[in-house]
Amino acid sequence: MRINRNLCLSFIFILFAGFWSCTPALDHRVVEGEVIRLDSINAPVKDSAVDAAIAPYREQLEAEMTEVLAYSEQAMQKDSPEGLLNNFVADLVLDKARELYSPEDGKPIDFCLLNYGGLRTSIPEGPVTRGRIFELMPFENEIVVITLSPERTRELFQYLAESQVGMPVSGIRLGIKDNEPEIIQIQGEPFDPDRSYKVVTSDYLAGGGDRMDFFLQPQKSELIGLRIRDAIIQHLEKQHERGKKITSQLDGRIYYKD
């Protein structure tokens, strides 16, 4: 039986019309904008009244940032597997944390671990200003003490052995061979696979930053109540009050074995 061609076309048209009538209409909007170049020509003119209002605060901030906190015997930079800056910051954080820490169990902090990327600039030889320390440690990271199980502590040293950069550490000596932690000493004693350890670090790393997942299953986590930057500033001020220059040294705390 032959079907009328016009009838078929009419039927197809009715189907499509019904389909589109059930589809919500698209909401077309026209957004207009203008590109303004922020350069010396198009930048807004400085408001003298506003500038005068903030000038005292700006001057006060500049005075604080240019204040000399201490003097350094040498230039300190971060490096791998260890560096003068790595060791300097990790040592002072461990010392400050031990000074402030009041453990309920009577057990002190064993060692310190920070991160290489957290050190954002170097310390120059000569005067060290407050502004330089803000550049070195621009973050608001808090000092925290993490108690780790033996298994998690072992993972920590495996992480250090596989790391491509020298993490700032203090209180340990680590010999690495073929990306494995072959020799581990904590406070001069061999690593004990049957005991827990207390590690002082930053709250950023304690939260798993820099893929330090071993910190995510702590037996205990305790805040010291001090930022790392403030610990550095306090150390510099104390050394300056004593008439001493700050200094650091390489001591082979992380090394590679043949």
What's the pTM value of the predicted model, to 2 decimals?
A: 0.79
Average pLDDT, the chain: 87
* 169-227 per-position pLDDT tens digit: 999 999 999 999 999 999 999 999 999 999 999 999 999 999 999 999 999 999 999 99
3 pLDDT above the threshold of 60: no
pLDDT value for 29: 65
155 pLDDT above the threshold of 70: yes
Q: What is the CA radius of gyration of the chain?
A: 30
47 pLDDT above the threshold of 70: no
Query: How do beta strands 197-202 and 142-148 pair?
Result: antiparallel
pLDDT value for 16: 40
Provide the residue ranges of all domains of the chain, joining segments of one domain with +: 80-120+140-224+247-256
* 56 compared with 114, residue with greater pLDDT: 114
Reported CATH class of domain 80-120+140-224+247-256? alpha beta
Task: Report CA-CA distances (Å) from 64 to 61, 105, 111, 174.
Answer: 5, 40, 33, 40
pLDDT value for 24: 44
85 pLDDT above the threshold of 60: yes
What is the Cα–Cα distance from 58 to 209, expressed in whole angstroms?
Answer: 34
